[in-house]
Chains A and B, each alone.
Chain A
Amino acid sequence: AQSVTQLGSHVSVSEGALVLLRCNYSSSVPPYLFWYVQYPNQGLQLLLKYTSAATLVKGINGFEAEFKKSETSFHLTKPSAHMSDAAEYFCAVSDYSGNTPLVFGKGTRLSVIA
């Protein structure tokens, strides 16, 4: 069975500061990993995904994530936070077979302080 743990239900950073949202996964087979973002009163949209190509994945809005197999991690980062980054962020895992559903973490709410 696959699972995802997101450390920290709420992260607060100052505008211009580094954003780091943590995600650790558990999977018995090579995983596919995703970060989704949900802006206030909106649906979920894909931020970026890892599908076994490059371990450093770049996404929209300046976000990137690095797949580290040894640490079973897929942390999301952005060098400089912007006010518009305030949202809920979800990490998710699936596998290459397509026979298992996407499993999501509980989410991390990012607040950006001016």
Chain B
Amino acid sequence: GAGVSQSPSNKVTEKGKDVELRCDPISGHTALYWYRQSLGQGLEFLIYFQGNSAPDKSGLPSDRFSAERTGGSVSTLTIQRTQQEDSAVYLCASSPNMGGLGTEAFFGQGTRLTVV
């Protein structure tokens, strides 16, 4: 009965470097979300995967951000050429997304990214 697992828990990177953040959702959950949490900004939606449908990328802040979800399970969020404003906690969530039962999301502990 593992929950949503994110790795690494903390990442410090130099400005201009690329980073990859990993999310292992709850087994069987068809929906997967990435959010960014910055101080005073709440949870900013980044990208949403739902089953085999094309992902909703409307929240990605720039083309430096991308995400993949392989085999409908593990997801990787990639940030290229990191900038200091990318520093935040990146949260992943998954949901069984069973339509009429409500799309409750279960969150991981997040990855705290610091760009120096």
Across the two chains, which residue of chain B brings its CB closest to A34? B104
Q: Is the CB of A44 within 8 A of B101?
A: no
Q: Is the CB of A105 within 8 A of B31?
A: no
Across the two chains, which residue of chain B brings its CB closest to A41? B109
Q: Which residues in chain B, 18-73, are within 8 Å of chain A measured between CB atoms?
A: 31, 33, 35, 40-43, 45, 48, 50, 53, 56, 59
Q: Is A12 an interface residue (CB 8 A)?
A: no
* B contact residues, total (Cβ < 8 Å): 30
Query: B53: which A residues are within 8 A, CB to CB?
Result: 99
Q: Is A70 an interface residue (CB 8 A)?
A: no
Query: A43: which B residues are within 8 A, CB to CB?
Result: 91, 107-110
Query: A42: which B residues are within 8 A, CB to CB?
Result: 109
Across the two chains, which residue of chain B brings its CB closest to A91? B42
Q: Is the CB of B99 within 8 A of A98?
A: yes
Across the two chains, which residue of chain A brings its CB closest to B100? A96
Q: Is the CB of B43 within 8 A of A90?
A: yes
Supposing A46-B104, A90-B42 touch, asked if A102 and B33 sit within 8 A by C-beta, the answer is yes
In the bound complex, what is the Cα–Cα distance between A42 and B100 (angstroms)?
Answer: 29
Beta-carbon contacts of A96-107 to B below 8 Å, as 1s and 0s?
A: 111111111111
In the bound complex, what is the Cα–Cα distance between A43 and B4 (angstroms)?
Answer: 10
In the bound complex, what is the Cα–Cα distance between A106 and B37 (angstroms)?
Answer: 9
Across the two chains, which residue of chain A brings its CB closest to B97? A98
Q: Is B115 an interface residue (CB 8 A)?
A: no
The 4 closest A-B pairs by CB, nearest first: A106-B42, A101-B48, A51-B102, A104-B43
Task: Show 27 A/B contacts (Cβ-Cβ < 8 Å), sorted by A.
Answer: A32-B102, A34-B102, A43-B91, A43-B107, A43-B108, A43-B109, A44-B91, A44-B93, A51-B102, A94-B102, A94-B103, A96-B100, A97-B99, A98-B50, A98-B99, A98-B103, A99-B53, A100-B48, A101-B33, A101-B45, A101-B59, A102-B93, A102-B105, A104-B35, A104-B43, A106-B40, A106-B41
